[in-house]
Amino acid sequence: MRVYPVFFKVAFSWMDPELAHTLGFAGIKLAHRSGLGRLLSRLTAPDAGAAVQVMGLTFPSPFGLAAGFDKGATGTHALTDLGFGHVEIGTVTGRAQPGNPRPRLFRLVRDRAVINRMGFNNDGAEAVAPRVAAALQSLAQESIRTGRPRPVVGVNIGKTKAVGLEDAVGDYVRSTRVLAPYADYLVVNVSSPNTPGLRQLQELDSLRPLLGAVRREADRVTNRRVPLLVKIAPDLADQDVLAVADLALELGLDGIVATNTTIAREGLGLRSSPEEVTRCGAGGLSGPPVRRRAVAVLRLLREHVGDRLVLVSVGGVTSAEDVRERLDAGAALVQGYTAFLYEGPFWAARINRGLRRAARGTSR
């Protein structure tokens, strides 16, 4: 019997979801600072054989934590103690901002899903950059001590709400200038539904100059080529997904993160009552209800681009079987987030064990 589901029901299910997240994350960071994290990492670390080479980087496991959990790089090393092969920081904006008014995070427990309208609440690129640098230094030291590959740290950047669409390129360039020197890879987020107008940047006439400017700035401020990806919404029509893929190829991007949260509510097979869903209000829905579309977008992209782009699949990932499905469908990496809230701190370790068992089964 697993303990965490009972703990979640007793300790967290009645609590405001954002407060529960804050307290849970604080516990993870406390465990790391106390030295318990070092013991945890021995128990949760992926097998050496699980490591994958993607974008010139060594990922200890193909499974990592999606952007949104550690928005400010305040607990990156602590999260890798739990077995994640990579952690994507952010979304980080050019300027600090408080995000949308609370409440802004809601659970659909029957669907094991979440609706959020956080609005890129974060401390801004200038504050986050030194934290990323410190996390990388700490992780590198642990890698030397243990002989295990260092977990990868990606940085996801978005538009500051107060910046108009006409100035969006400069805002993304500002974040790139500050963060690219420390990021193992960069993701341009143009697909969150919680910043007004942001998804308009997925239109090719807006996306082309934006991605081109970020690529040039990343190259200018670093002495290495920082891998660059773009994160797209599941709500794009198939032809628009393919158009973004063609643009990524044209501009020499490294990959696509597919997909972000959805604004859809119909056709997802939600078990929660319509009244409960309506009470949550606007925002991006994540978790198992988006799984089918996330897999469909992944398959569509793989068929279209082959191995010319790295595909990172996210959306509705709960189990090792889900991760294996995405890898078999053409993903190089897989990310999760929502299930972490329901599955607890040993979720990534369970997925790594499941992947190990699957690998042993196929090798017989």
Tens digits of per-residue pLDDT, 62-99?
Answer: 999 999 999 999 999 999 999 999 999 999 999 999 99
Report the C-alpha gap between 159 and 167 in whole angstroms: 9
Buried b (16+ CB within 10 A) or exposed e, 187-196: bbbbbbbbbe
Place of tokens 């609590």: 15
Tens digits of per-residue pLDDT, 237-272?
Answer: 999 999 999 999 999 999 999 999 999 999 999 999
Q: Residue 78, annotated ligand binder? A: no
pTM of the model: 0.95
Place of tokens 């008014």: 101
Q: Residue 197, annotated ligand binder? A: no
Spatial CB neighbours of 331, under 8 Å, sequence gap ≥ 6 = 62, 298, 302, 311, 312, 313
Q: Residue 261, annotated ligand binder? A: yes
Q: Residue 55, annotated ligand binder? A: no
Spatial CB neighbours of 33, under 8 Å, sequence gap ≥ 6 = 78
Q: Report the pLDDT value the prediction gives residue 7, as an integer from 0 to 100.
A: 64
* Res 1 pLDDT > 80: no
Residue 325 tokens read as 């499905």
Q: Indicate if 191 belongs to the active site.
A: no
Tens digits of per-residue pLDDT, 103-122?
Answer: 999 999 999 999 999 999 99
Place of tokens 């990534």: 348
Tens digits of per-residue pLDDT, 5-29?
Answer: 666 666 667 789 999 999 999 999 9
Residue 236 tokens read as 């794009």
* Res 329 pLDDT > 90: yes
Q: Report the pLDDT value the prediction gives residue 110, as an integer from 0 to 100.
A: 96
Report the C-alpha gap between 342 and 88 in whole angstroms: 19
* Res 48 pLDDT > 90: no
Amino acid letter, 192: S
Q: Residue 337, annotated ligand binder? A: yes
Q: Residue 156, annotated ligand binder? A: yes
Domains and CATH numbers, the chain: 4-362 (3.20.20.70)
Q: Is residue 364 very low, low, confident or very high in pLDDT (cuts 50, 70, 90)?
A: very low
Q: Residue 260, annotated ligand binder? A: yes
Q: Residue 160, annotated ligand binder? A: no
Q: Report the pLDDT value the prediction gives residue 10, as an integer from 0 to 100.
A: 66
Buried b (16+ CB within 10 A) or exposed e, 122-136: bbbbeebbebbeebb
Which one of the listed residues 192, 272, 286, 313 is annotated catalytic?
Answer: 192
